[in-house]
Structure 1
Amino acid sequence: MEDRKLTVRAVERALDILMCFTQNSELGLTEIAGMIGLHKSTVHRLMTTLEEKAFVVRDAATEKYRLGIKVWELSTHLSQSDDPAVLLLPAMERLRDRLGETVSLYLRDGKDRLRIQAVQSNQAIRRVAQVGARLPLTVGASSKVLVAFAAPADQEELLNDPDWAELVKGGSYVRQLQDIRERGYATSIEEREPGAAAVAVPIVNRNGRVAAALSVSGPVSRLSSETLNEFAPVLIEAAREMGLMIP
């Protein structure tokens, strides 16, 4: 029984290591050890195994690690029949062409949001959205949409989380969520990233559940508050059509 516990713990630690690469593309041994709270010698043993199995690659010059080819091989076998990132890509491209700005698709993952798809603007000055980026759920237009339209039990759990105490204190954030539900969209100007603005809407699937958040973002020099509000009806209609594609 003890051996089994040790084996399971080793698997958990190896998965924790791989999850570190959702935040950075290259990491050193010390960085990984600090991120998951393990001794460097323990991390080194796990990294050696992951490297042997091609889940990570070590750069001999920098002594940093990056994800290996096995991760890519696994990703190519993901089911695409009901994957929003695949199903909605053509519609996202049409929306990008219509509005001229970067279009992103987000899912909620615990207290974070995960960008699962993005179509970059073709303009010279643009906001580049990295697919796979994990961002806090406490700030930004897409975050507010995912919280505002979350199931009541999920929303209550988030708002009662100790990490959210300062955000919720005073009631202005909760009132903002109510306004977003009434309007059907959220906007943000330089909330998370200086010089960037965004508008986001929920995508509701055929079962009436919020499946994702759809956003359009770009530089504040082009996306004023007025422009964001003008974009909102276009996004709402696009999200309605996208929702019909998702089971």
Structure 2
Amino acid sequence: MEEQKANVRAVERALDILLCFTDSADLSLSEIAGRLSLHKSTVHRLLATLENKGFLIRNAQTEKYRLGFRLWELSANMSHSDDPATIWLPEMERLKDAVGETISLYVRDGLERIRIQAVQSNQAIRRVAPIGARMPLAVGASSKVLVAYADPGVKEEVLNDPSWPASIDRAAYIEQLEQIREQGYATSVEERELGAAAVSAPIFNRNGKLVAALAVSGPSNRLTVERMVEISGPIKEAAYRMGKMLK
């Protein structure tokens, strides 16, 4: 029994190591050990196993690790036929061509949102949206959409989160959520990042359940409040069509 627990714990730790690379391209043994609060000796053994299996590659000069080609082999065999991030890509491309800004797709994961798909703008100055990025739910147009249309329990959890920014008034935030539900979209100007603005609309499946948030983002001097109101219609229409694509 103890041996089984030890094996499960080793698997969990190995997976935790791989998850460290969701926001970093390469990491050293010390950096990984620090992130996971594990002894270096423990991490070293797991890194050696992951490297031998091809899941990680070690740079002999920098002594840092990066994801290996075995992960690409696994991803190549994933089924994309029912993957919304793949199904919706052509619609996101059309929206990008229509509004001229970067298009992103977000889903909620606990008290964070994750960007699962993005189409970059062709503008010389544009918002770069890396896939896989995680952001808090308290700020940003997409965050507010994901909270506004979430179950009441989720809203309470978000509002009572100990990490809630002191600069954001909860009562005002709740009013924003009500307004978002009335108008069908959310906007944000420099809420999370200076010089950036975004407008977002919800994507519902055929049963009316919130699935994701569709967002248009760009420089705030180009994506003004007036411009965001102007393109809110095309964004909501695109979100509606995307929802109808789901089974």
TM-score w.r.t. the length of structure 2 is 0.95
Give the alignment of 1:2-151 within 5 angstroms: 2-151=2-151
1:105-162 deviations in Å (ceiling 9; x for gaps) = 1111111111111111011111111112122222211111111111222222332333
- Residue 117 of structure 1 aligns to a residue in which SS? strand
Please say if 1:153 is aligned against 2:153: yes
**Matched length:** 247
TM-score w.r.t. the length of structure 1 is 0.95
- Contact (CA 8 Å) 2:138, 2:158: kept in 1 or not? no
CA distance in 1 between counterparts of 2:90 and 2:35 reads 37
State the 1:56 CA deviation. Answer: 1.0
CA distance in 1 between counterparts of 2:87 and 2:44 reads 40
**% same residue:** 63
Which stretch has the larger CA shift, 70-79 or 160-169?
160-169
Identify unmatched segments of 5+ residues in structure 1.
Answer: none
Q: Which amino acid aligns with 2:193?
A: E
Which stretch has the larger CA shift, 163-172 or 26-35?
163-172
- Contact (CA 8 Å) 1:159, 1:165: kept in 2 or not? no
- Residue 116 of structure 1 aligns to a residue in which SS? strand
- Contact (CA 8 Å) 2:137, 2:158: kept in 1 or not? no
- Residue 18 of structure 1 aligns to a residue in which SS? helix
Aligned to 1:184: 184
- Contact (CA 8 Å) 1:22, 1:134: kept in 2 or not? no
State the 1:100 CA deviation. Answer: 0.6
- Residue 163 of structure 2 aligns to a residue in which SS? helix
1:84-112 deviations in Å (ceiling 9; x for gaps) = 11100000000000111000111111111
CA distance in 2 between counterparts of 1:209 and 1:177 reads 17
Q: Which amino acid aligns with 1:190?
A: E
Give the alignment of 1:213-228 within 5 angstroms: 213-228=213-228
- Contact (CA 8 Å) 1:150, 1:210: kept in 2 or not? yes
